[in-house]
């Protein structure tokens, strides 16, 4: 809403509301934009502080999914993003795991705190994706998991007696790891993103980017962007959800220049120029993860966490979830009924 023009007193019509019987809901009237000239400080702007305090008290949920073939550095990257051992591999006992025969969905949650802000972070791993001989439809378990979380939320939302705060297990962000082949996207990449970009926010990342030179990186990124566009794949931030000009300019830059982010992850520290930095040590030098000249990890981190975290959640809630809900309520049994059997396939370390 924008402040309306100052209207003359004569135009300020008196709006009468005759109460109507219960059956018909009274349509709320359109607000009159009488711009009241403030003659002194009232304190309306303190609502910002009040709101901030409340949200700090309740805390935040964030659910991030990582998808990609094994060996692309997914777990390491997530650990680096959140500067702690949040991924499945770090938490499980068995480090020498076999590649599973089918795609599994493994969610693990931790509570992390920074600056008084408590966050319940859930990392959802998808081991087995793209690792089989025949990978047809290997995105289906993932799509099913995502829809199941929407279903869970919907069930809670339509209860008569509702919880004060509905637990949010919906996937807010899906990092898709692209192999740094330097050529182009693989058919599996395209298939996955085509299907899933309609139900979840997908952020494509180029994994293990330390195998490409700067020129190779730029060319590869351009090719990937072109391929995504040609195939009609809308990754986050989606063009159609830009709220205003400010958003559009900011997001256009990210969409057309920075993404997909070419990243390197590491949880080991080394001494460089007297500072301790996260990096990868090779015979030809130390790759500094948070150095923007070496890789785009810092861009990804700032994008996902420092500027667009809340927006990722809002797009998930206001758009993806609403789409699911509308479809679900319209379809006369179009979606398969959620039975108890489906829950056995999903192991959760929660």
The rounded distance, in Å, linking the Cα atoms of 180 and 209 is 6
Q: Which is nearer to another protein, 71 or 167 (CB)?
A: 167
Rounded CA-CA distance 196/139 in Å is: 8
Shortest Å, Cβ 310 to another protein: 4
Out of 1, 187, 232, 274, point to the residue binding another protein (CB under 8 A): 1
323 phi and psi, to 5 degrees?
-60, -45
- Report d(CA 295, CA 10) in Å as an integer: 63
Q: Which two tokens stand for residue 330?
A: 């319209």
* Residue in 97, 140, 229, 243 binding another protein, rule: CB under 8 A: 243
Burial (CB count <10 Å: 0-12, 13-18, 19+), residue 79: buried
By beta-carbon proximity to another protein, the closer residue of 103 and 264 is: 264
Alpha-carbon distance of 65 to 122, in angstroms, equals 8
Residues 162-201 that bind another protein (CB under 8 A): 162, 164-165
> What is the Cα 320 distance to its own chain's centre?
11
Contact 83, 114 (CB under 8 A): no
In this structure, how many other beta carbons lie within 10 angstroms of the beta carbon of residue 339?
A: 7
Question: Total binding residues for another protein by CB under 8 A?
Answer: 98
Helix or strand or coil: residue 341?
Answer: helix
Closest CA to 345 of 145, 150, 149, 91: 145
Taking contact as CB under 8 A, which single stretch among the options 83-91, 135-143, 170-178, 191-199 is the one that binds another protein? 83-91
Stretch that binds another protein, among 136-144, 156-164, 234-242, 258-266 (CB under 8 A): 156-164
33 or 71: CB nearest another protein:
33
CB of 120 to another protein, least distance (A): 6
**Number of Cβ within a 10 Å radius of residue 277:** 18
Of 133, 161, 230, 245, which one interacts with another protein (CB under 8 A)? 161
In the complex, the smallest distance separating the C-beta of residue 206 from another protein, rounded to whole angstroms, is: 22
Rule CB under 8 A: choose which of 65, 72, 78, 86 binds another protein: 86
Handedness of CA 263, 269, 271, 276 (dihedral sign): positive
DSSP-derived secondary structure for 215-251:
HHHHHHHHHHHHHHHHTT--PSSPGGG--SHHHHHHH
The residue (of 48 and 133) whose beta carbon lies closer to another protein is 48
Task: Rank residues 28 and 187 by Cβ distance to another protein and give the closer one.
Answer: 28
28 binds another protein (CB under 8 A): yes
Write out the binding residues for another protein, residues 268-327 only, by CB under 8 A: 278, 301-302, 305-311, 314, 318, 322, 325-326
Pattern 100-139, binding to another protein, x per CB under 8 A? ---------xxxxxxxxx-xx-------------------
């Amino acid at each position: 809403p924008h402040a309306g023009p100052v209207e003359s007193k004569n135009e300020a019509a008196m709006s009468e509301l005759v109460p109507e019987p219960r059956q018909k809901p009274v349509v709320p009237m359109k607000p009159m934009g009488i711009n009241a000239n403030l003659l002194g400080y009232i304190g309306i702007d303190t609502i910002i502080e009040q709101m901030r305090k409340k949200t700090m008290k309740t805390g935040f949920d964030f659910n991030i999914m990582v998808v990609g073939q094994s060996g692309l550095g997914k777990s390491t990257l997530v650990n680096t993003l959140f500067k702690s051992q949040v991924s499945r591999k770090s938490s499980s006992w068995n480090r020498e795991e076999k590649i599973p025969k089918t795609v599994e969905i493994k969610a693990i949650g931790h509570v992390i705190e920074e600056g008084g802000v408590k966050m319940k972070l859930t990392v959802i791993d998808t081991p087995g994706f793209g690792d089989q001989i025949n990978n047809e439809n290997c995105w289906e378990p993932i799509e099913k998991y995502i829809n199941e979380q929407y279903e869970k939320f919907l069930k809670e939302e339509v209860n008569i007696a509702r919880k004060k705060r509905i637990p949010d297990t919906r996937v807010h962000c899906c990092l898709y790891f692209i192999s740094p082949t330097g050529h182009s996207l693989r058919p599996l990449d395209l298939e996955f993103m085509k299907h899933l970009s309609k139900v979840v926010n997908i952020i494509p990342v180029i994994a293990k980017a330390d195998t490409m030179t700067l020129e190779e990186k730029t060319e590869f990124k351009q090719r990937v962007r072109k391929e995504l566009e040609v195939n009609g794949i809308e990754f986050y931030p989606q063009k159609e959800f830009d709220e205003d000009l400010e958003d559009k300019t900011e997001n256009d830059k990210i969409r057309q220049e920075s993404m997909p982010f070419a990243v390197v992850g590491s949880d080991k520290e080394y001494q460089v120029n007297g500072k301790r930095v996260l990096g990868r040590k090779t015979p030809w030098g130390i790759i500094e993860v948070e150095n923007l000249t070496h890789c785009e990890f810092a861009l990804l981190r700032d994008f996902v966490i420092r500027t667009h975290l809340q927006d990722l959640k809002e797009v998930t809630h206001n758009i993806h979830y609403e789409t699911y809900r509308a479809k679900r309520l319209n379809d006369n049994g179009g979606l398969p009924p959620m039975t108890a059997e489906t829950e056995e396939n999903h192991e959760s370390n929660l």
